[in-house]
Structure 1
Amino acid sequence: MRQFCSLYIKDIEHFAETMSDDVLAPTALQECTARLQIVPAGHDHTYLVSEQRSGARLILVDREPSLLDTDSIFSDHRQAGVTAVNHMLKIDHRRIAYLGDRTTVSTAPQRFDGCRHALGLAHIEYANELVHHPGPSEVAAIAATEQVLSLPDPPTELFTRQNLIIIGAVRALRTLGLEDGVAEACPPAQPLPESSSA
């Protein structure tokens, strides 16, 4: 007999090599019923239809449903991008680099679109050399930060989002002696670790 419970699954994309959410969710629901809150990694959520038909209440968190009729809770990531860039523009930054998550993560293109939209409204030309999508890798974020800062016309501000990207960017800035004000302008969601981990 299945027990009543609520299950929350997040960041499945980080486990993609060993187990995906289309495997994990049904496996978990074999022992659990009532409610499944999931942050899915993919773009096709039809693998959840059978669980929905069996009576599980599904709630997608931070992702819009794709090919599935279910409830969802998500932030307006496009508007968040607009708001962040508008804040930078108000304090006289005009050359803003964007370091974002992989474009396969649905929220990343939304934030990036908001960033580009805000720059367009301010009549600032979009610069390809200032855009990087390193994904959730501290090492890749360090490399991307160093690359944009080595440009002949480097950015005066970084727009970053995703913990490991933020950590990598901050570490690069510290190494270059440019970290003043970073902690206040763009705090990570968790404290910076003492030692680097790839």
Structure 2
Amino acid sequence: MTTMQDVATRAGVSAKTVSRVFNDDPHVTEDTRQRVQSTMRELKYVPNMLARTFREGKSAVIGIAVPDVADPFFAAITKEIELAAREHDMAIVVTSLGDNPSLEQNIIETTVRRQIGGLIIAPIAADQSYLARWQDSFPIVFIDRTPIKLNADYFVEDDFGGAFEATQHLIAHGHRRIAIVGDSTDVPTTRLRLEGYRAALDDAGLRNDEELVVLGSRNADGAAQACKTLLALPDAPTAIFSSNARFSIGVFPALQALNRTDIALISYGDFPMADVLQPSVSVIDQDPRRVGRVAAERILARLATPAKRFRRKNVLPVRLIERQSCQSVPALSAPVDVP
């Protein structure tokens, strides 16, 4: 593994200068900074942050990077990671990646400079190979979405299976016009959930109607507008599958505002108050606390045995929680038996 002294020797500077460059010290000349940074890239050098924090008597820190810390799903994951970290005298630092994939690498590298001992990330970009140079310095675990162009530990949910079950459940209640509302298929979870939705329709011999597929919403307000657009169709859907909890928070009040309590709704992902709303909302439960716990435990296990190189890939099961929002369609068509 490349050391700071290796970089210093190759660049013709002191180890202290290398440290100053890495920490963006403004007192380093631009010529020296460029020469040291070029050498770092050439030697694929990253500092051993965890060793440094232990030497300085500080608690190690787990970095968490998710698309949106306000999203109910990611908020619950973050809370569980924090609880697990506290149990081991560790702290967390949390950052939102947002929805611009081009910013992911810069945001992550800024987080890394905070001397983290491990990283848990739900990526938004289409390439995480930039993280390869950090893997020898601290453990990296992906959640919710698989890494691309990088071999790493990950925990993802059964997005295809959950969407298939949700759509199948609506079909069994007599629904034939089932819409899906979601964000872009550039997001891997949305793409898999769309595939599961379509597969369930195909399995039941129902037509995939593209006018019932409304994707591209960026937030709850966009999902609410998508709901209104769907219900204005001449042949409107009788049921809506919302592809994530963030959008469900927009879809439900839109249905209420239109006084459309006759429209069935299933949310991929539970959300606050979903079980006490009227009607209560059926959900595909992702169990975000479990996701957070297993991700934190994997980080801790990697810290305990850093020599292990084998990356483990895990697909976590999800489950349908049936509530009041999936009523049958009266007199439209008889429910069908779906295995």
Aligned with 2:160: secondary structure?
helix
Amino acid of the structure 2 residue aligned with 1:51 = W
Instruction: Provide the C-alpha distance between the structure 2 equivalents of 1:27 and 1:109, rounded to a whole number of angstroms.
Output: 29
Q: Tell me, in whole angstroms, the C-alpha distance in 2 between the residues paired with 1:163 and 1:107.
A: 13
CA 82–74 in structure 1, closer or farther in 2 if over 3 Å, else same: same
In structure 1, how many angstroms separate the alpha carbons of the residues matched to 2:258 and 2:153?
Answer: 46
2:141 paired with 1:51: no
Q: Is 1:139 paired with 2:195?
A: no
Structure possessing the higher radius of gyration over alpha carbons: 2
Contact preservation (8 Å) 2:182, 2:247: yes
SS in 1 for 2:230: helix
- Paired residue type of 1:123: G
For the 8 Å contact 1:26–1:51, the answer to whether it is kept is no
How far is 1:164 from its partner?
Answer: 3.3
Equivalent residue for 1:189? 271
Which has the larger displacement, 19-28 or 76-85? 19-28
User: What's 1:153 paired with?
Assistant: 235
Per-residue CA deviation, residues 56-109 of structure 1 (Å, 9 max, x unaligned), is 111011111210011101011011110111111111111100001221111001
Q: Say whether the 8 Å CA contact 1:134–1:144 is kept in structure 2.
A: no
Does 2:100 match 1:16?
yes
- Unaligned segments of structure 2, at least 5 residues: 1-48, 54-59, 68-95, 275-339
Kept in 1: contact 2:238–2:263 (CA 8 A): no
**Paired residue for 2:246, among 164, 179, 190?**
164
SS of the residue corresponding to residue 32 of structure 1 reads: coil
Tell me the amino acid that sits aligned with residue 136 of structure 1: R
Structure 1 contact 99–158 (Cα < 8 Å) conserved:
yes
Partner of 1:81: 163
Query: Higher relative contact order at CA 8 Å, sep ≥6: structure 1 or structure 2?
Result: 2
Paired residue for 2:207, among 120, 125, 130? 125
In structure 2, distance between residues paired with 1:188 and 1:60 = 21
Q: How far, CA to CA, are the matches of 2:204 and 2:100 in structure 1?
A: 39
TM-score for both structures, normalised by structure 1: 0.86
Q: Distance in 1 between matches of 2:156 and 2:192?
A: 12
Q: Indicate the SS of the match to 2:118.
A: strand
The structural deviation recorded for 1:168 is 1.8
CA shift for structure 1 position 137: 1.7
**Residue number in structure 1 paired with 2:184:** 102
Partner of 1:27: 110
Question: Helix, strand or coil for the counterpart of 2:135?
Answer: helix
Give, in whole Å, the separation in 2 of the partners of 1:95 and 1:163: 21
The percentage of counterpart residues that share the same residue type is: 28
Separation in 2, partners of 1:150, 1:33: 50
Q: 2:111 corresponds to which letter in structure 1?
A: A
Displacement of 1:180: 5.9
> 1:195 is matched with which residue?
none
State the Cα distance separating 1:118 from its structure 2 match.
Answer: 0.5
Structure 2 contact 238–264 (Cα < 8 Å) conserved: no
Task: Identify the residue that residue 69 of structure 1 maps to in structure 2.
Answer: 151
For the residue of structure 2 that corresponds to 1:14, the secondary structure is coil
Tell me, in whole angstroms, the C-alpha distance in 2 between the residues paired with 1:90 and 1:177. Answer: 24
Asked if the contact 2:97/2:107 (under 8 Å) is kept, the reply is no
**What letter corresponds to residue 177 of structure 2 in structure 1?**
R
- Alpha carbon RMSD of aligned pairs, Å? 2.3
Q: Does 1:92 align with 2:174?
A: yes
Question: 8 Å contact 2:240–2:264 — kept in the other structure?
Answer: no
How many residue pairs end up in the alignment? 189
Q: Which runs of 5+ in 1 are unaligned?
A: 193-198
1:196 — aligned with what? Answer: none
**Distance change in 2, residues 1:142/1:161 (3 Å):** same
Paired with 1:179 and 1:118, the residues of 2 have a C-alpha distance of 24
